[in-house]
Structure 1
Amino acid sequence: MKCLYCQQLIVLELTWKTLILPERKPLCSTCEESLIIIKGSRCFICSRPSERNKCKDCLWWEHLPERDTIQFNYSVYHYNNFMKEIISRWKYRGDGALGYIFQHVFAANFGKIRSSLPKNIVAVPIPLSEPRQLERGFNQAAMLAKFLSVRSMEILERSTSEKQSKKTRNERIQSVNPFIVEKAINKPVILVDDIYTTGTTLRHAGKVLLEQGCPFVCALTLIRG
């Protein structure tokens, strides 16, 4: 078995447990240790590491029209240089298999918040624009959503292909809502995306879902930027 990132051979410790149930590790120990899971106190709205229940960014959002379009976002990892390189290879250089690095941890962190969510919740991935989907060949958010133990529904569509990553913070926040609901849904939704930066993308998606009758929207993201 080789590390999905560096291709180094992974040598597992031989025990009775691994003999009966062979363990499949996606990363070698060096690469695994370079990914930092968010621990300790965090903002309960956006998952930013914070000693306060609400960080300054979320207090600022309370004064904007889209402040209540998502109940909260829960993120799993910090965005460090190693994570940046993985995301670059995964999203922009066509190495789709790298997404399986996160399968177990992403599902396990969903399990941590599952009891606080409505029972009939469905996962809705943030969509790519059609040109971006064709360019990459897959949607990383849709891949993450399928790792979860709930139904995944791709019911959102983008009306623009503008790249959020190229915009400044203010440009993101002031941007026009790019989402359209292809199919109205009356079930609670957990939005799934790879990274939470300003929260604008998730709030835009939450807004159109609520307008179409969705009773509850929260979010699960792989990284807190």
Structure 2
Amino acid sequence: MKDVLARFKFRGDTALAELFKKDVQAAFKHSFCIKDPLLIPIPLSHERLKERGFNQSVIIASLLDKPILQPLVKIHQSKQSKKKKNERLDQKGLFHIKQTDAIVQRDIILVDDIYTTGATIYDAARILKDAGAKSVSSFTLIRS
């Protein structure tokens, strides 16, 4: 799976997402009973998006056929994959929010490609809860 994720995420082979589609949909259906969830993919910084050309979390979210909103903005930092566990856990303020009206009293599901320490998900969830989300859960393709 590590090689497949590297091809998908770092080498731009986004067609590989189709390999995950049935499993992603089945796992999502099994894990969530929320009526009308709002999917929020974890964003990339503007610089990282420009470098990569796509956001892998948006592609994963699009496999679920649910409403997607992108109110979070990622603050550019060094790559997560280059950081040690303690460095990741100590991070705060990874995001800011640009739009809040659509998330107030909504059940949010954050979508990301990989869950390593949880720092990214926890920081995004905190911001969304502070902005009025009813609940925030997460759905990731891989747990490392």
TM class by shorter-chain length? over 0.9
* 1:139 match: 55
Structure having greater relative contact order (Cα 8 Å, sep ≥ 6): 2
Counterpart of 1:207 in structure 2 is 126
- Aligned residues of 2:42 and 2:72 also touching (Cα < 8 A): yes
Choose from 45, 68, 81 the match for 1:152.
68
Aligned to 2:96: 180
Corresponding letter in the other structure for 1:179: F
Q: Which moved more, 1:197-206 or 1:99-108?
A: 99-108
Higher helix share: 2
Task: Check conservation: 2:48, 2:76, Cα contact below 8 A.
Answer: no
- Listed as ranges, the matches of 1:60-209 within 5 Å are 83-115=1-33, 117=34, 119-184=35-100, 185-186=103-104, 187-209=106-128
Within 2, Cα distance between the matches of 1:131 and 1:108?
Answer: 33
Unaligned runs of 5+ in 1: 1-82
The TM-score normalised by the length of structure 1 is: 0.61
Query: Cα RMSD over matched residues?
Result: 1.1
Q: Is the 8 A contact 2:72 2:95 kept in 1?
A: yes
Q: In the TM superposition, what whole-angstrom CA distance separates every residue of 1:7-63 from its partner, at most 9, and x where no partner exists?
A: xxxxxxxxxxxxxxxxxxxxxxxxxxxxxxxxxxxxxxxxxxxxxxxxxxxxxxxxx
TM-score (norm 2): 0.93
Q: How many residues are paired up?
A: 141
Letter in 1 for 2:46: E
For residue 176 of structure 1, report the CA deviation from its aligned partner.
2.5
Determine which structure has more spread, i.e. the larger CA radius of gyration.
Answer: 1
User: C-alpha deviations, 1:65-105, integer Å up to 9, x for none?
Assistant: xxxxxxxxxxxxxxxxxx11111111111211112111111
Q: After TM superposition, what 4+ stretches of structure 1 lie above 4 angstroms from structure 2?
A: none
Report the identity percentage. 40
Equivalent residue of 1:218, what SS? strand
Alpha-carbon shift at residue 178 of structure 1 (Å): 1.0
Tell me which protein shows more strand as a share of its residues: 2
2:71–2:99 contact (8 Å) kept in structure 1: yes
